[in-house]
Structure 1
Amino acid sequence: MTAGGVFISFEGIDGSGKSTQARLLADWLEGQGRDVILTREPGGSPGAEEIRKLVLEGEPDRWSAETELLLFAAARRDHLERTIRPALAAGQVVICDRFADSTRMYQGLRSGDMRAKVDALHDLMIGHEPDLTLLIDMDPELGLGRALSRGTGEERFESFGSGLQARMRAGFLALAKEFPDRIAVIDGAQPVEDVAEAVQAVVAGRLG
C-alpha cells in the first residue's frame, strides 16, 4: 500500500454501477473508523472539474483521441497534486471513481491503438497507480442503457454506441489479466447489495 494512506480506484464501462459502489465502499469504510476521501475523474479538484466539462459534454467528435489524452492528463495531474497526494500523505483512504485505467481504455483504444502513447504520457506526467483497483464488470448493452437513462448531460462517450462499450469491456478484462495483483474483477450483474459485499470482501482482504 501507499506509504501513509491507501489509494483505491473503481473502473468499468459506462453504467456498470461503479460510482454507486464507490459511494457504498466509502460509507462502509467510514463505518469501520477509516478517514476516507471520495473523489472522481475527470475531476476531483477545481481545475480538473473545469476540464471535465470540456471532455464529457458536447458532440462526439468534439475532440480527437489525441487531444482528449492531453486533456485527461492535465486534469489527472491537477487532481493528483491537489487532492490525491495530500490525502495519502495525511493517511487517508482515497477512493476514486475512475483513474488512469479509464484513459488506457477510452483514449488508448478509441482511435486505433494509442495505448503506448497513453502509457508513455502517464509515466512522464502522472507516475502513480492505485494500490487496488476494483473493476465492476457489466454487459455492454445493459450498461449503456443504464448510462443513457441518467440524462446528466455528460453522455458524450455513451453516444459513441455499444460497439465502443464492448471494446472497453474487453479491454478492461484484459487489463485485469495484465495487472492481476492490482485489479480485482467484480460481477456487476448481481444485486447492488451483493456487489457491495463482494467489494468489501476484497478491500478487507487488502487492508487486513
Structure 2
Amino acid sequence: MRRGRTRLRTIALIGIDGSGKTTQAHRLADALTAAGRPATYRRNASGRRWLGRVAQRLGRPDAQRLVGRDGVLAVESVLRWLAIAIALISCLLTGRTAVMDRYSACQYASIRAHGGQRWERLARAGYRLFPTPQVTFLLAVDPAEAYRRIERRGTDHETMGWLTAADTAYRTLPEYPTFVLVDAGLPADEVTEQIRAHLTAWLPSGVGSGPVPQSFDSPPLPDGPPVTPVAQRSERGGIGPLVAQARP
C-alpha cells in the first residue's frame, strides 16, 4: 500500500554485457507507460565501445592501448556521470519514471574489473550526487553464456576474461545485498515476469506482456551472499524459479 501511494521515480537494470539489460529496460518502460505511469528508457553508456572504435581507427587494438587503463576509467566515469545526470534531470522536468539501462553500480563494477580500485573512491565521490534507485535489478548471467550471446549478435566483442572479471566485480560490490537478482538465463518472457513480480504495486497484471523480440538473456546465477530474491538450484545444477520478495 505504501508503494501504491509512492511515486516511482527511478528503476535501474544492471549486469554484465550480454545479460539482456537493454531488452528488459525497454519492455519495462513500455509496461509502466501502459499502466498509466509514464516512463522513459535511458541508456547510460560509458562510451567504452566508442573509445574502442576510435582506438582501432588510429591503429591501436583497443582503448586501453590508446589512452591507458587510467585514461579509459576517467573517460568512462565522466561520460556515464553525464549520461545519468541528463537522464535524471530530464525525468525530473517531465515527471516521468526513469528506467535506467545501467547506473552508477555499473561504473563501480567496471573500475573493479579493470583493477583500478583507487578510482572507485573518486567515482563514488562524484556519483554520490545521484539518488539511489527505488529498485535495482541485477540481471545475472553466466559469463560463458554472455560471451555466446555477444558473439551471436555480432555488433561488438568482449573477452571471457573481461566478462568473468565484471561478473565477480558486481558480486563484490557493497551494494550487492540490496540488488534484486533476476535469473536472466530464462526465456525473455519469464525474465520480464520476474521483474514484473517485484513491481506488482506499480504494474497491474496483464499490462505490458506480449511477444518479445529476440534477445540475449542469461543463465545460471553464481553463488554469492544472501540477497532479497531466492534462486534455487535444480538437481541438474541449473537455476529453479526465482522468488522476488518485496522489501517493506
Q: TM-score, normalised by structure 1?
A: 0.78
Tell me: CA distance 1:123–1:205, structure 2 relative to 1, closer, same or farther (3 Å). Answer: farther
Aligned partner (choices 15, 27, 40) of residue 30 of structure 2 = 27
Equivalent residues in 2 for 1:55-204, closer than 5 Å: 55-57=51-53, 58=56, 59-60=61-62, 61=64, 62-110=66-114, 112=115, 114-124=116-126, 127-128=129-130, 129-152=132-155, 154-155=156-157, 158=158, 161-175=159-173, 178-181=175-178, 183-204=179-200
Tell me: CA distance 1:120–1:204, structure 2 relative to 1, closer, same or farther (3 Å). Answer: farther
1:21 Cα deviation (Å)? 0.9
Distance 1:125 1:162 in 2: 28
Residue 30 of structure 1 aligns with an amino acid whose one-letter code is T
Count of aligned residue pairs for this structure pair = 191
- Describe the superposition over 1:76-105 as per-residue Cα deviations: whole angstroms up to 9, x where unpaired: 232234332231343211011112212112
Structure ranking higher on relative contact order (CA contacts 8 Å, 6+ apart): 1
The answer to whether the Cα contact below 8 Å between 2:139 and 2:183 also exists between their aligned partners in 1 is: yes
Distance 1:204 1:65 in 2: 42
Distance 1:4 1:28 in 2: 16
Aligned partner (choices 1, 6, 10) of residue 7 of structure 1 = 10
Q: State the identity %.
A: 24
Residue 26 of structure 2 aligns with an amino acid whose one-letter code is R
Residue 148 of structure 1 aligns with an amino acid whose one-letter code is E
The answer to whether the Cα contact below 8 Å between 1:66 and 1:107 also exists between their aligned partners in 2 is: no
The answer to whether the Cα contact below 8 Å between 2:104 and 2:127 also exists between their aligned partners in 1 is: no
Tell me: CA distance 1:149–1:184, structure 2 relative to 1, closer, same or farther (3 Å). Answer: same
Residue 107 of structure 1 aligns with an amino acid whose one-letter code is I
Q: Answer with 1 or 2: which has the greater Rg.
A: 2
Three-state SS of the structure 2 residue aligned to 1:87 is: helix
Three-state SS of the structure 2 residue aligned to 1:105 is: helix
Tell me: CA distance 1:100–1:64, structure 2 relative to 1, closer, same or farther (3 Å). Answer: farther
- Answer 1 or 2: which has greater helix percent: 1
1:7 Cα deviation (Å)? 1.3
CA RMSD of aligned residues (A): 2.7
1:173 Cα deviation (Å)? 2.4
The answer to whether the Cα contact below 8 Å between 1:136 and 1:188 also exists between their aligned partners in 2 is: yes
Tell me: CA distance 1:145–1:73, structure 2 relative to 1, closer, same or farther (3 Å). Answer: same
Residue 190 of structure 1 aligns with an amino acid whose one-letter code is L
Residue equivalent to 1:48: none
| Structure 2 unpaired stretches of 5+ | 204-245
